[in-house]
Amino acid sequence: MIDMKRYIFLLIFSTSVLFSFSQKTERQQMRDAEKMAISWLNKLNNKKYTDCWNTLSESTKSQTNFEAWNAYFSTELMPELGKFISRKYYLAEMEKEMEGLPRGIYVTIRYQSQYVNTDSIEEILLLSPSKLGKWEVLSYFVDYHLKEDNRENPKSKLKN
């Protein structure tokens, strides 16, 4: 009887230990998403658009093609913003449900950034882990004021 109790205890204990090691905590998931976001933004700022494209989710890639996506970033958005100066993280939120998306894990990360041609800019990335568990960028959104606009009309651009 004691051996059976010991066996059941060990089974429950080992199962719970294995389960806790296999599941990442929310904090770990947030850190992993933030690492991917910074890596993606650094590639963007260094004009490594192909590398950025390669870390987009398949659902995002299916909505456009590389040529159009690359043209937008290389000839429109990034030249308008100018040279990157600095970026400061200020908020990350994890959600399990996002409107228009299947149930899953989503992390929205916001940065206050500075570019040569902007007075202010907020960069927002939406990330989600792939089926293999690797974080991917679903979308990149910027809300900014150009220096020459005298803060009259904010510009917002969303690019999947």
CA-CA distance, 93 to 41, in Å (whole number)?
A: 18
Residue with the bigger pLDDT between 1 and 62: it is 62
Per-residue pLDDT band at 85 (split at 50, 70, 90): very high
Facing residues of 128 across strands? Answer: 136
Architecture of the domain made up of 26-159: Roll (3.10)
What are the structure tokens assigned to 3, written together? 């051996």
Contacts with 70 (C-beta within 8 Å, 6 or more apart), sequence order:
49, 50, 53
Do residues 132 and 159 lie in contact, with contact meaning Cβ atoms separated by under 8 Å?
Answer: no
pTM over 0.85: no
